[in-house]
Structure 1
Amino acid sequence: MSFPKYPAYKDSGIEWIGEIPVGWDVLPLKRIFSLKNGATPKSGQSDFWDGEITWITPADLNSERPEIITHSKRTISVKGAESCAVSIVPKGSIIISTRAPIGSIGLAGTDLCTNQGCRSLVPDKGVSSKFFLYFFYSAVSELQILGKGTTFLELSSDNLASFLLCFPPLPEQQAIASFLDRECGKIDALIAEQQRLIALLAEKRQAVISHAVTKGLNPNAPMKDSGIPWIGMVPEGWEVVTAGRVVRVISGFAFPSDKFLKYGEGVPLLRGVNVGVGKLRWDDVVYWKRQIDDGLDIYELKEGDIVIGMDRPWISSGLRISKIYKKDLPCLLLQRVGLLRLKKYLNSSFLMYQYSLPNFMHFLAPEMTGVSVPHISPSQIASFPICLPSRKIQDEIVTYLARAITEFESLILTATNAITLLKERRAALISAAVTGKIDVRAQNKALAA
C-alpha cells in the first residue's frame, strides 16, 4: 500500500531526518520529557528485593520492536527503592536502555523504576507517549552513535536530553501512533505466522530423523520389540546396542590455558566454545605448540570423528554435536569436549543422527551433573542405546535424510527470509510515519467514517 505525502515540507536541520512537514517542530528531548535516572539496591540485602515494584533493566527491554512493559525479571521492595532513592515513574513513561546495549526501548504499562542502565522519559502534557515510542525505535542507530566509553558504550543523560526530536501537533502524534499500532499489528501477525511455520517445520524435520533412524525407511518391514520403552519397536535384523560397543568415547586433554597461543602458532585446540549444533565455530581459536613425542596423538582429531560439548551439552537450538571434516584439521581435543571415534565400520553421520535425537538428553537428564554448568561424562555418552542396522541400510538412511533435511532447510530459509523482509517493512513504515515522509491522517479518518 502506498501513502500520500504532506502538502508542504521544510528542512528539519537534522541530517538523518531530512525534511519534515510544515507545521511540525524540532525540539530537544528535554523540552518534551523529564529524564529520570535508575538505581540498584544493595544486592546482599534480602528485604530490598522480590517486592511489589517493577524494576526494569536493559534485559527486560526488547530491541526488536517497541512494546509495552508491565513485568520485569526482578522486582524490588518499597524499602529497596527508598534505599537507593530510585525514581518511580508513572505509567506511560518511555524507558530507554542507555548502555549494554544502547537503544532498547519500551513503554511503561504500569508505574515502575529502572536500574542505572536505563533512563526513564516522563512525558509532559500534550505528548503522545506512543508516538515517541515509535520515534525512538526509528532513532536507535542515531542514539547509539552518541555512546561514549571504553569498557562499554554509554549514552549520557546530557546527550540524551539534547537529542533532537520531531514534534508534530498532538492530534497528528495520536493519529500516527494509532496508524502504527494497527499496521504494525498486522505485520507482527504475519511474522508470528512465519515463526509458527518455522517451529512446525523444525518439529517435522526432527520427527523424520527420529523415525528414519529408529524405524527405518521400509514401512512394511517386520518389526520386533527393542526392549527399550522409549525406542519401542525396531525392524527385525537391527540391533539395539550401547554406544560404547561401536564407538570409543574420549575426553579431551587438560591443556594448561597459560600456555595457549593466540596467533596461529601451532595446532588449533577444539574447545567447548567451538562446538555448536551440527557445526563447528572457528571464530574464537587458541593454539598449542606440538613437541616431538609429546603423547598427544590420541587427542589429534581425524576426519569423520564426532565431537560433543560436554558442558552445557544441550542449548535451545539442540545438542552441541558436530562432525569433523578435512577442513577442520589439524586439530587437538581440549577437555570438556567428548570425542566419539568409531570402533567398527559404520556411517558416522548415522551415529550423529542417533545422538541428535531429543531422546539422548532425556536419557541423560536424570544423571546429568552440575548445577550452574550441567555436564555429562564419557561413560554416560557411551551408555546411550542406539539402533544399529546394517551398514547398507545406514547409508540409505543417511542419503535419504540428507535430501529430506535439505528440503526442510530450504522451507525454513524461505520463512526466515520472509520474516526479515517483514521486519524491514515494519521498520521502514515506522520511520516514514514518525518523520512525516508519509501522511497517514486520512487513514484514521477513513476508519472513523
Structure 2
Amino acid sequence: MKYPAYRQYKDTGVAWLGVVPEHWEIKRLSYITQCLDGKRIPLNREQRSEMQGEYPYWGANCVVDYVNQWLFDEPLVLLGEDGAPFFDPNKPVSFFVNGKIWVNNHAHVLRTTNELEERFLAYALNCVGYGAFIDGATRDKLTQSDMNSIQVQFPPKIEQTAIADFLDRETERIDTLVAKKRKLVALLKEKRSALISRTVTRGLPADAAREFGLEAHIRLRPSGIEWLGPVPEKWAVIPLKLAIRFIEGPGIMASDFTDDGIPLLRISSIGKRLVTLDGCNYVSHDLGTTRWSHFRVKKHDLLISGSASTGFCSEVDEDTVGSIPYTGIIIIRPYPKTDRGFTRWFFLSNLFVDQSNLAKTGSTIQHFGPTHLSRMFIAFPPKEEQTAIATYLDRETAKIDRLVEKVETAITRLQEYRSALITAAVTGKIDVREYV
C-alpha cells in the first residue's frame, strides 16, 4: 500500500535522519528520557538458575531467562548496550517493555517524559545509525554518554501515539505472516527428512520403482534390529564398515599452520552439498605431502562431521581435491558395490542420525569417530536400486528445496518491508495518521 507524505519537510542536520516533517522537533535523548542504568543488577548463570521464575530477565537484545524477582515495574524502553544488532536492520536493539522485569548490565534502561510515547521511542531507536555512537575499541559498545547525545525526532505526543498504534498493527500483521511461512518451511523440511529416511530404509514408492524399471517392494521382513524395524524383503542389513571405508582427519597443531600451502579443511567447509574452502587453514606442502599425505582427499570423497553437528555430508570436487580434513572430519569412501549417491543420502537420513546420537561420547562436545561408525548398520539394497534411490532423492528433495527457497525469499522480503515501513513511519517519510 502506498502511503502519502507530509506536506512540508525540513532538514534535521542529522546524517542518518535526513529530513522530517516541518512541525517535528529534534531533541537529544538525555532531554526526553531518564536513564535508570544505576538500578540494574546483573546476575550470573548460577544466580539465574536459582531464581527461575516468571519475570523476564532482559539482556542486550532479548529476554535471556526468567527470574522470581523484579527490579522494574513500569513502562520502559530498553536499548542494547553492545553487540552485532547495531549493524543488522533485522535485529532490533530497542524494546518497549511494561511490567515486572529484571535487567542486566547489557541493556540501557530509559524512562520517558510525559511528552514521549514509549512505543514510538522504541521504534525510533531501532532506526538510528549507531555507527557514529558506538565505541569499537574492544567491541561494539554504546556508552551511556554516547547514548545521551543521540538526537531523535520528536513529533507531538498525539502523533507519536498514532504512529506507534499504526506500527503495532502493521508489524503484528507482518509478523503473523512471517510466522506462518516459517511454520511452512519447518513442515517442508520435516517432509524432506521423512522422505529421505523412508526411502533409504523402505525403498522407492511403487510409481517411482516402475519409472526406474524396478520391482516395487510389496513385502517387508524383520531387519533383526529393533530400532530399524522392517526392511524390503530382498535387502540386506549389514555393518556399515562392509559398505564403506572411513578415516578421520589428523590432529594438526596450530604451530604447523602456514599462510598458504595445502588447505586444511574445517567443520565450516562441509555445510553444503560440495566441500568448500570456507574458514580453512593451510599447512606446508612439505608436511602435507609427507606426514599427512594419506589424508589428502580424492575427487568424489564424502566428508561428514564427527562433532555434535550432524545433518551434513559434502562431496569433494575439483576445487578441493588434495585438501586435508582436520580432526573431527571423517572421510567416507564407498566400496565398488556401494553407490556414492546412496551413501550420501544414508548419512543424511535418520537411520544414520539416530545411530550417531547413540554413539556420541563426551560431556562438552559430543563426538563420534571411525570406531563408532564401525558399529553402525545400513539397510543395503542391490546397487542398481541404490543408484535409482539416489537419483530419485536428488530430484524429489530438489523440488522441496526450491519451495523452501521460495518461502524463505518471501520471509526476507516481508522482513525488509517491515523494517522499511518502521523507518518510513517514525522518520516522517510517510504520513500514517489517517490509517490508525
> What TM-score range do you get, normalising by the shorter chain?
0.7 to 0.9
- 1:15 matched residue in structure 2: 15
Q: How does 1:125-144 map to 2 (within 5 A)?
A: 125-139=114-128, 142-144=129-131
* Higher mean C-alpha deviation, range 7-16 or range 296-305: 7-16
Distance in 1 (alpha carbons) for counterparts of 2:239 and 2:14:
68
Distance in 2 (alpha carbons) for counterparts of 1:411 and 1:325:
27
1:257 lines up with 2:254 in the alignment: yes
Task: Look up the equivalent residue of 2:405 and give its one-letter code.
Answer: L
Describe the superposition over 1:169-213 as per-residue Cα deviations: whole angstroms up to 9, x where unpaired.
Answer: 111111111111111111111111211111111111122222222
Whether contact under 8 Å (1:26, 1:164) holds in the other structure is yes
- 1:345 matched residue in structure 2: 337
Task: Look up the equivalent residue of 1:403 and give its one-letter code.
Answer: R
Task: Look up the equivalent residue of 2:184 and give its one-letter code.
Answer: L
Distance in 1 (alpha carbons) for counterparts of 2:69 and 2:171:
36
- 1:85 matched residue in structure 2: none
Distance 1:35 1:282, change over 3 A: farther
- 2:381 matched residue in structure 1: 389
Secondary structure at 1:241's aligned position in 2? strand
* Higher mean C-alpha deviation, range 30-39 or range 434-443: 30-39
Secondary structure at 1:72's aligned position in 2? strand
Q: How does 1:23-422 map to 2 (within 5 A)?
A: 23-37=23-37, 41=42, 43=44, 50=51, 54-58=56-60, 60-61=61-62, 71-73=63-65, 75=67, 88-101=71-84, 103=86, 104-139=93-128, 142-219=129-206, 220-225=216-221, 226-261=223-258, 263-264=259-260, 266-276=261-271, 278-291=273-286, 294-314=290-310, 319-422=311-414
Task: Look up the equivalent residue of 2:391 and give its one-letter code.
Answer: T
1:436 lines up with 2:436 in the alignment: no
Aligned-pair CA distance for 1:438: 1.6
Distance in 2 (alpha carbons) for counterparts of 1:41 and 1:427:
31
Describe the superposition over 1:240-274 as per-residue Cα deviations: whole angstroms up to 9, x where unpaired.
Answer: 1121111122122122221111x22x211123343
Aligned-pair CA distance for 1:391: 1.7
Distance in 2 (alpha carbons) for counterparts of 1:380 and 1:143:
50
Whether contact under 8 Å (2:11, 2:18) holds in the other structure is yes
Aligned-pair CA distance for 1:331: 0.8
Distance 1:150 1:321, change over 3 A: farther
- 1:83 matched residue in structure 2: none
Whether contact under 8 Å (2:48, 2:65) holds in the other structure is no
Distance in 2 (alpha carbons) for counterparts of 1:381 and 1:347:
18
- 1:64 matched residue in structure 2: none
User: What are structure 1's unaligned runs of at least 5 residues?
Assistant: 62-70, 79-87, 445-449
Distance in 1 (alpha carbons) for counterparts of 2:72 and 2:44:
22
Distance in 2 (alpha carbons) for counterparts of 1:434 and 1:200:
36
- 2:213 matched residue in structure 1: none
Distance 1:44 1:401, change over 3 A: closer
Distance in 2 (alpha carbons) for counterparts of 1:22 and 1:380:
71
Distance in 1 (alpha carbons) for counterparts of 2:121 and 2:43:
33
Task: Look up the equivalent residue of 1:335 and give its one-letter code.
Answer: T
Whether contact under 8 Å (1:90, 1:108) holds in the other structure is no
Aligned-pair CA distance for 1:233: 2.9
Task: Look up the equivalent residue of 2:299 and give its one-letter code.
Answer: E
* Higher mean C-alpha deviation, range 34-43 or range 126-135: 34-43
Whether contact under 8 Å (2:78, 2:96) holds in the other structure is yes
Tell me the TM-score normalized by structure 1.
0.85
Distance 1:403 1:320, change over 3 A: closer
Secondary structure at 2:94's aligned position in 1? strand
Distance in 1 (alpha carbons) for counterparts of 2:74 and 2:351:
47
Aligned length: 417
Distance 1:421 1:313, change over 3 A: closer
Describe the superposition over 1:105-124 as per-residue Cα deviations: whole angstroms up to 9, x where unpaired.
Answer: 22223333433322111111
* Higher mean C-alpha deviation, range 125-134 or range 4-13: 4-13
Distance in 2 (alpha carbons) for counterparts of 1:101 and 1:113:
22
Distance in 2 (alpha carbons) for counterparts of 1:275 and 1:40:
42
Runs of 4+ in 1 over 6 A off after TM superposition: none
Distance in 1 (alpha carbons) for counterparts of 2:46 and 2:339:
57
Distance in 2 (alpha carbons) for counterparts of 1:283 and 1:206:
26
Distance in 1 (alpha carbons) for counterparts of 2:407 and 2:43:
46
Whether contact under 8 Å (2:178, 2:414) holds in the other structure is yes
Distance in 2 (alpha carbons) for counterparts of 1:443 and 1:379:
66
Describe the superposition over 1:369-412 as per-residue Cα deviations: whole angstroms up to 9, x where unpaired.
Answer: 11221111212122222121122111112112111122111111
